[in-house]
C-alpha cells in the first residue's frame, strides 16, 4: 500500500492529533463502541422518561395537568439543548470532547435523580394529612428538577453528536468506506430502538412493581456503561477538527452582503473571492463549489475597491465562496427540514391520542385477566423498527440498487419521501379504527362503558406503520443532514433535525387547541372530549391525514428543486 493510502483523506485525526491511520482507526472497528454508547444512553433516557408523568403524580403528588405540563417542558428542553451541544462541538470542542463532557453531566444528573427517589430527606413522601393534602417539599422538588435538567443538558451534548461522530469514522474520500456510511445510520437507529425496547418493557415494570429507586438506578447504571463504552474506543476513533464559530461566519456573510447590497454579482464565478489553496480557510471543512441559487449572498464574495487582497482580508467585508456556500447550504436544507415537522406531529400521536384511543378499548390479553397498559402498545412501533432496519439494509438496498444504480439503492430524498408516504397510512388506519369503534358505540349504546368490547390489538397496524415510516424518514433525515451539511456544521444540522421532534409536538398541541376551541362552540362536546365515546377523534386523524398529504406534495416540489452540496478540494 502506498504511503498516501495509509492515512484518511477527509482531514480526520486520531486521539493524539495525528493524521488518522486507515488500518488502525475508524470504520466498523470503532463503531461498536459508539453504537453501544447510544444503545445504553437511549435505554437510560427512555427508562427514566417513559413513566416520568406517573412519578410526578405518585411521588411529587402533582395534579395531572401540572405533571403533564412539567413533562412537556422538560421533554421540549431535551430537544432544544442539542443546539448548545452542536454549537460547541462544531465550533470549539469537537464531537469527541463534547460527547465526553456532556456524558459526565448526564451521569451526574441520573445519579442525583436516583438519590432523590431513594435517599431519606430528599425522597418525596406524603407530608400532609390525607392524599388530598400530599405534596413534595420545596427541597424534594428542587433536587428532582435539578437532576432532570442536568440530564436535559447532558443529552444536549450527546443527541446531535453521536450519529455524526459515528459517520465520521468512514472516510468520505474513500468510495469503499463511504458505501458503509449509509449502513451505519441504519444500525445506529436500530441500536436506539433496542434500548427503547428494554426501557419500555422491563424498566417500566420495575418502576411500577419494585420501586422508583431501582427504576431510576438501573438507567443510571446503563448511562455509566454508555460512558465506559464510549471511552473504551478512544484509540480507535477518527476525529474531525472543530471549525470555529459557524454562527460568526454566517453573520459575516449576511453583514458583508448587506454592505454590498448595490454591488452587481459578476456572471463569471471565477471573479468571486476564494483562496488559491486546495484547502478551505475553515478548519475541518472542504471547499464548496459555487451554486447559482440565493445569489444575493454572492455579493459578500465580490471583491470591492476597499478590499485589499494583499493584506489580511476583513471577513466582515469580504468572504470566500466557501463561506458563502456554507450559509446557502444551510438555507437550502430548511425547506426539507420544515417538512419533517408534520411527520413529527404524526409520530407524536403515539404518546397522546393513540393512548387515549387505546384506553377506550379492551386491554385484556386474550381471555386472561392480565391487562396491557395502553401506552405499552408503543412497543410495536419499536418492534417494527427493529424488523424493518435489517430488511431495509439487507434486502431493500441490494434490490433497489439493481434498478436505480445508486450505491445506497435509494437517494436520501427518495427514502424520506417514501417514509412520508407511509406515514399517511398510519393516520388512515387510526381513523378507520376509530370510525369502526364509534359505530359499535352507537349501535350498542356503549357511551358510558370505560372499555368498548373491541381488543386494543387492533391498534397494532397504526403503530407498525409509523415504525416502518421512521426507518425511511427519520434515518433518511439523519443521513441527509449529515451528508448535505457543510463539513464544519454537521452537529448543528443534526441538532436542527432533532428540533423537528419538538416542533412537531408543539404543532400537535396547537392543532388540538384550535380544534377544541372550534368544535366546542355552542355547547358541543367537541372532537376530543374526556369521554371519547361522545367525541370524534377520527376527525382529528383525518385532519392529520390531509395535512400529511399536503406536506408530501410540498416535499416532492421542494425535493425536485433541491441542489446537492458540491464539495471540492481537501480538508485542512
Q: 3-state DSSP: the chain helix, strand, coil percent, rounded to 5?
A: 70, 5, 25
Question: Do 83 and 164 fall into the same domain?
Answer: yes
How many separate domains does the chain show? 3
Question: Do 254 and 397 fall into the same domain?
Answer: no
Average pLDDT over residues 124-135: 57
Higher pLDDT, 101 or 283: 101
- CA-to-CA distance for 404 and 104, rounded, in angstroms? 45
Q: Is residue 1 in a domain?
A: no
Question: Do 129 and 207 fall into the same domain?
Answer: yes
Grid look-up 419533517 returns: 340
Question: Do 226 and 267 fall into the same domain?
Answer: no
Residue that finishes a domain, picked among 268, 299, 326: 326
Higher pLDDT, 130 or 430: 430
DSSP for 140-163, written as a single string = HHHHHHHHHHHHHHHHHHHHHHHH
Do 327 and 297 meet the contact criterion of CB atoms below 8 Å apart? Answer: yes
Question: Do 147 and 33 fall into the same domain?
Answer: yes
pLDDT band at 308 (very low <50, low <70, confident <90, very high): low
Question: Is the confidence at residue 129, as pLDDT, over 70?
Answer: no
Taking only the tens place, the pLDDT of each residue in 161-185 is 998 899 899 987 788 888 788 788 8
Higher pLDDT, 199 or 464: 464
pLDDT band at 472 (very low <50, low <70, confident <90, very high): very high
Question: Do 230 and 351 fall into the same domain?
Answer: no
Higher pLDDT, 139 or 554: 554
Average pLDDT over residues 320-345: 91
Question: Do 168 and 193 fall into the same domain?
Answer: yes
Question: Is the confidence at residue 322, as pLDDT, over 70?
Answer: yes
Average pLDDT over residues 508-513: 83
- CA-to-CA distance for 409 and 456, rounded, in angstroms? 37
Higher pLDDT, 285 or 233: 233
Of 185, 94, 108, 196, nearest in space to 147 by CA: 108
Question: Is the confidence at residue 287, as pLDDT, over 90?
Answer: no
Q: Is residue 519 in a domain?
A: yes
The three grid cell numbers given for residue 496, joined into one nine-digit string: 436542527
Question: Is the confidence at residue 239, as pLDDT, over 80?
Answer: yes
pLDDT band at 543 (very low <50, low <70, confident <90, very high): very high
Question: Is the confidence at residue 20, as pLDDT, over 70?
Answer: yes
* Mean model confidence pLDDT for the chain: 86
Q: How many CA atoms lie within 13 A of 316 on its CB side?
A: 1
- CA-to-CA distance for 207 and 129, rounded, in angstroms? 25
Question: Do 388 and 535 fall into the same domain?
Answer: yes
pLDDT band at 130 (very low <50, low <70, confident <90, very high): very low
Average pLDDT over residues 202-212: 83
- CA-to-CA distance for 503 and 79, rounded, in angstroms? 9
- CA-to-CA distance for 447 and 439, rounded, in angstroms? 11
Question: What are the φ/ψ torsions at residue 272 (nearest 5 degrees)?
Answer: -80, 150
The three grid cell numbers given for residue 278, joined into one nine-digit string: 486546495
Dihedral of CA atoms 232, 234, 239, 244 in degrees, nearest 10, equals 90
Q: Which of 337-351, 357-371, 524-538, 547-561 has the highest mean pLDDT?
A: 547-561
pLDDT band at 384 (very low <50, low <70, confident <90, very high): very high
Supply the angle between the helices 321-348 and 537-560 in degrees, to the nearest 10. 160
Question: Do 164 and 261 fall into the same domain?
Answer: no
Residue that finishes a domain, picked among 180, 208, 242: 242
pLDDT band at 95 (very low <50, low <70, confident <90, very high): very high
Question: Is the confidence at residue 549, as pLDDT, over 60?
Answer: yes
Average pLDDT over residues 257-275: 87
Question: Is the confidence at residue 62, as pLDDT, over 80?
Answer: no
Average pLDDT over residues 385-412: 89
Question: Do 160 and 275 fall into the same domain?
Answer: no
C-beta pairs of 449-455 under 8 Å, 24+ apart in sequence:
449/533, 450/359, 450/360, 451/359, 451/360, 451/361, 451/362, 451/363, 452/360, 452/361, 452/362, 452/533, 453/362, 454/361, 454/362, 455/361, 455/362, 455/364
Residue that finishes a domain, picked among 242, 260, 283: 242
User: What pLDDT was estimated at residue 124?
Assistant: 77
Average pLDDT over residues 173-202: 85
User: What pLDDT was estimated at residue 568?
Assistant: 62
- CA-to-CA distance for 452 and 531, rounded, in angstroms? 12
pLDDT band at 150 (very low <50, low <70, confident <90, very high): very high
Q: Is residue 140 in a domain?
A: yes
Question: Do 293 and 440 fall into the same domain?
Answer: no
Question: Is the confidence at residue 132, as pLDDT, over 60?
Answer: no
Name the 3-class secondary structure at 273: coil
288: domain range? 244-326
Our separate counts of H helices and E strands in the chain read 18, 4
User: What pLDDT was estimated at residue 354?
Assistant: 85
Name the 3-class secondary structure at 13: strand
Average pLDDT over residues 495-522: 85
pLDDT band at 457 (very low <50, low <70, confident <90, very high): very high
User: What pLDDT was estimated at residue 131?
Assistant: 46
Its pTM stands at 0.82
How many C-beta neighbours within 10 Å does residue 310 have? Answer: 5
Average pLDDT over residues 230-258: 90
Question: Is the confidence at residue 484, as pLDDT, over 60?
Answer: yes
Do 572 and 280 meet the contact criterion of CB atoms below 8 Å apart? Answer: yes
Higher pLDDT, 4 or 33: 33
Write out the H or E segment, with its range, that includes residue 495: helix 490-519
Average pLDDT over residues 547-552: 96
User: What pLDDT was estimated at residue 501?
Assistant: 85
User: What pLDDT was estimated at residue 570?
Assistant: 55
Q: Is 279 left (phi over 0), alpha (psi -120 to 50) or beta?
A: beta
Taking only the tens place, the pLDDT of each residue in 418-430 is 999 999 999 999 9
Question: Do 225 and 356 fall into the same domain?
Answer: no
CATH, residue 400? 1.20.1250.20
pLDDT over 70 percentage in the chain: 94
User: What pLDDT was estimated at residue 377?
Assistant: 85
Amino acid at each position: 500500500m502506498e504511503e498516501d493510502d495509509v492515512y484518511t483523506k477527509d482531514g480526520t485525526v486520531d486521539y493524539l492529533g495525528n493524521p488518522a491511520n486507515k488500518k488502525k482507526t475508524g470504520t466498523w472497528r470503532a463503531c461498536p463502541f459508539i453504537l453501544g454508547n447510544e444503545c445504553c444512553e437511549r435505554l437510560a433516557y427512555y427508562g427514566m422518561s417513559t413513566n416520568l408523568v406517573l412519578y410526578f403524580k405518585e411521588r411529587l403528588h402533582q395534579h395531572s395537568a401540572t405533571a403533564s405540563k412539567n413533562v412537556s417542558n422538560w421533554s421540549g428542553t431535551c430537544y432544544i439543548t442539542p443546539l448548545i451541544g452542536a454549537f460547541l462541538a462544531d465550533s470549539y470542542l469537537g464531537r469527541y470532547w463534547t460527547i465526553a463532557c456532556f456524558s459526565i453531566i448526564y451521569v451526574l444528573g441520573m445519579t442525583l435523580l436516583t438519590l432523590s427517589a431513594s435517599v431519606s430527606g430528599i425522597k418525596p413522601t406524603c407530608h400532609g394529612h390525607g392524599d388530598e393534602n400530599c405534596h413534595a417539599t420545596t427541597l424534594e422538588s428542587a433536587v428532582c428538577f435539578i437532576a432532570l435538567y442536568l440530564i436535559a443538558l447532558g443529552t444536549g451534548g450527546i443527541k446531535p453528536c453521536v450519529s455524526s461522530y459515528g459517520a465520521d469514522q468512514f472516510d468520505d474520500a474513500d468510495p469503499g468506506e463511504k458505501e458503509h456510511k449509509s449502513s451505519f445510520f441504519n444500525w445506529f437507529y436500530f441500536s436506539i430502538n433496542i434500548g427503547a425496547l428494554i426501557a419500555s418493557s422491563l424498566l417500566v415494570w420495575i418502576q411500577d412493581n419494585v420501586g422508583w429507586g431501582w427504576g431510576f438506578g438501573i438507567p443510571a447504571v446503563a448511562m455509566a456503561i454508555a460512558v465506559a463504552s464510549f471511552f473504551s474506543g478512544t484509540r480507535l476513533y477518527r476525529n474531525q477538527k472543530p471549525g470555529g464559530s459557524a454562527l460568526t461566519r454566517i453573520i459575516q456573510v449576511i453583514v458583508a452582503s448587506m454592505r454590498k447590497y448595490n454591488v452587481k454579482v459578476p456572471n463569471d464565478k471565477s471573479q468571486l473571492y476564494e483562496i488559491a489553496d486546495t484547502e478551505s480557510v475553515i478548519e475541518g471543512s472542504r471547499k464548496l463549489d459555487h451554486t447559482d441559487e440565493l445569489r444575493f449572498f454572492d455579493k459578500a464574495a465580490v471583491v470591492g475597491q476597499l478590499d485589499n487582497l494583499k493584506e489580511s482580508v476583513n471577513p466582515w467585508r469580504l468572504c470566500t465562496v466557501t463561506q458563502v456556500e456554507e450559509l446557502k447550504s444551510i438555507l437550502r436544507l430548511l425547506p426539507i427540514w420544515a417538512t419533517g415537522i408534520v411527520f413529527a406531529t404524526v409520530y407524536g400521536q403515539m404518546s397522546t391520542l393513540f393512548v387515549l384511543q387505546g384506553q377506550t378499548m379492551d386491554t385484556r390479553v386474550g381471555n386472561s385477566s392480565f391487562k396491557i397498559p395502553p401506552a405499552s402498545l408503543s412497543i410495536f412501533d419499536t418492534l417494527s423498527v427493529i424488523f424493518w432496519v435489517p430488511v431495509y439494509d439487507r434486502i431493500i438496498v441490494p434490490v433497489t440498487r439493481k434498478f436505480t444504480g445508486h450505491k445506497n439503492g435509494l437517494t436520501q430524498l427518495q427514502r424520506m419521501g417514501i417514509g412520508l408516504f407511509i406515514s399517511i397510512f398510519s393516520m388512515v388506519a387510526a381513523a378507520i379504527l376509530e370510525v369502526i369503534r364509534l359505530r359499535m358505540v352507537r349501535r350498542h349504546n356503549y357511551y358510558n362503558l370505560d372499555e368498548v368490547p373491541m381488543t386494543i390489538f387492533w391498534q397494532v397496524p397504526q403503530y407498525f406503520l409509523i415504525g416502518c415510516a421512521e426507518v425511511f424518514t427519520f434515518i433518511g433525515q439523519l443521513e441527509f443532514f449529515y451528508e448535505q451539511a457543510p463539513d464544519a456544521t454537521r452537529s448543528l444540522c443534526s441538532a436542527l433535525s432533532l428540533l423537528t421532534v419538538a416542533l412537531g409536538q408543539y404543532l400537535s398541541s396547537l392543532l388540538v387547541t384550535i380544534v377544541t376551541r372550534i368544535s366546542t362552540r355552542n355547547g358541543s362536546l367537541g372532537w376530543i372530549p374526556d369521554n371519547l365515546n361522545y367525541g370524534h377523534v377520527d376527525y382529528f386523524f383525518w385532519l392529520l391525514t390531509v395535512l400529511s398529504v399536503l406536506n408530501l406534495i410540498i416535499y416532492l416540489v421542494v425535493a425536485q428543486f433541491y441542489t446537492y452540496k458540491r464539495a471540492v478540494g481537501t480538508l485542512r
